[in-house]
Amino acid sequence: MKLSTRARYGVRLMVALAFNYGKGPVFLKDVAKGENISEKYLSLIIIPLRRVGLVNSIRGAHGGYKLAKDPSQITMKEIMDVLEGDCSLVDCVRNPSTCPRVPICASHDIWAIIGGKISETLNSINLDMLVKMNQEKAEKMMMHNI
């Protein structure tokens, strides 16, 4: 299993917005520069995040993007569901009618358990936690570079 670039960059975008929460809107070009991601690619990623109400856009000279709610209220699961889809590893877990073997298939049950654990873990991590983790890592880097 491998996460898409869209999901990985989307999480970085959301962490950048969380880091600036309460400080006003952020220009996408500034996030792109700070995260070393193409602004054009971020402009595609932000669309579904805005559509589901995780991000708000503000127009004008002092415009940009900001989180629609407190970082502690946005989970990794919400972000991943938007950018990757649900955590089902195989189609038959999401939609059992796609396979007639579901009632007798032990591997179906394993995929469902694993997907459930992934979902549970992603739901237990919020953007506020990621911001704090990033800050701790930055502090450690600074201590080692002194």
Under 8 Å between Cβ of 54 and 92: no
Residue bearing tokens 């049950």 = 109
Q: Which pLDDT score, from 0 to 100, does residue 25 have?
A: 96
Q: Which pLDDT score, from 0 to 100, does residue 7 have?
A: 96
**Domains of the chain: total:** 1
- Distances in Å between the Cα of 64 and the Cα atoms of 36, 43, 53, 91, 120 are 18, 11, 15, 37, 32
Query: Whole domain around residue 122: which residue ranges?
Result: 5-145
Q: 122, 27, 18: which is closest to 68 by C-alpha?
A: 18
Whole-structure pTM value: 0.90
Q: Which pLDDT score, from 0 to 100, does residue 90 have?
A: 87
Q: What is the CATH number of the domain that holds 129?
A: 1.10.10.10
67 three-state secondary structure: strand
Q: Identify the segments of the chain with pLDDT beneath 50.
A: none
Report d(CA 102, CA 88) in Å as an integer.
14
